Amino acid sequence: MSEPILGSFTQSEPLTLGVELELQLVSRRDFDLTRGATDLLGAMDYDGRFGEVKLEITESMIEVSTQPQARIAGIAADLAGLRETLVRHCAKNNIGVCGGGTHPFHRWAERRICPGERFDQIYQRYGYLAKQFTVFGQHVHVGCVSADDAIWLTQALAEHVPAFIALSASSPYVDGVDTLFQSARLNAVSAFPLSGQCPPLADWAAFVSHFEFLHACGIVNSIKDLYWDVRPKPEYGTVEIRVCDTPLDVDRATALAALAQALCRHLLRTRPPLFAERWQHVARYNKFQACRYGMAAMISDPVKQCQEPLRERLLGLFDALAEDADALDCAGWLASLRTVAASGDGDAAWLRTRQAAHGNLHDVVREASERLMRAATNGEESR
8 belongs to a structural domain: no
10 belongs to a structural domain: no
CATH code, domain with 149: 3.30.590.20
339 belongs to a structural domain: yes
pLDDT at 340 over 70: yes
5 belongs to a structural domain: no
Number of structural domains the chain divides into: 1
Terminal-residue alpha carbon distance, the chain: 53
Residues 277-313: tens digit of each pLDDT: 999 999 999 999 999 999 999 999 999 999 999 999 9
Q: What is the pLDDT of residue 375?
A: 60
pLDDT at 85 over 80: yes
pLDDT at 381 over 70: no
1 belongs to a structural domain: no
Domain that holds residue 252: 17-378
Q: What is the pLDDT of residue 122?
A: 92
Cα(331)–Cα(259) distance, integer angstroms: 9
Q: What is the pLDDT of residue 380?
A: 40
Cα(114)–Cα(116) distance, integer angstroms: 6
CA–CA distance from 314 to each of 244, 285, 297, 323, 378 (Å)?
16, 17, 11, 16, 34
In the chain, the percentage of residues whose pLDDT exceeds 70 is 97
Cα(140)–Cα(244) distance, integer angstroms: 9
363 belongs to a structural domain: yes
353: number of Cβ within 10 Å: 12
Neighbouring residues of 343: CB distance < 8 A, sequence distance ≥ 6: none
pTM of the shown model = 0.95
12 belongs to a structural domain: no
Residue type, position 222, single letter: S
Give the residue from 347, 134, 140, 365 showing the smallest Cα distance to 241: 140
105 belongs to a structural domain: yes
